[in-house]
Structure 1
């Protein structure tokens, strides 16, 4: 059985914003990936950015200052 880990999940109003986050993170070496929005959350679009909680803690300020509108940011365990 796979061990569950804490993740930070960012949701967006639009798919364009989700794809901008993917591009921004890849350009800046921030690990994460696009995933379907978990059922526990609701979002304007069906795509979210998921990253490990440790990575989010390290880059939280950079992400907040990137200019991409984040609808919701939630800590979840998967």
Structure 2
């Protein structure tokens, strides 16, 4: 079993928003990946973006510039 670690998890209203996030992050070489929404969160389309918590401020700026929408953003042990 994988050891749980603190991750920044971003949830989305729609699958299209989740895919747009993945596209931007791959293009910009931003660490992270799409994952199913963790059990402790019940939100959105079922997909979320997981990344290191240290990227929170950078992501807020990037998402604003790129016009990326999201539902929730928080740090969770996953």
TM-score normalised over the length of structure 2: 0.85
Q: Which runs of 5+ in 1 are unaligned?
A: none
Q: Which runs of 5+ in 2 are unaligned?
A: none
**Displacement after TM superposition at 1:39 (Å):** 1.1
Aligned twin of 2:49: 49
Question: Matches of 1:28 and 1:45 in 2, distance apart?
Answer: 24
Aligned twin of 1:73: 73
Point out 4+ residue stretches in structure 1 off by more than 4 angstroms: none
1:29 equivalent to 2:29? Answer yes
1:19 equivalent to 2:14? Answer no
Count of aligned pairs = 78
**Displacement after TM superposition at 1:53 (Å):** 1.1
1:61 equivalent to 2:61? Answer yes
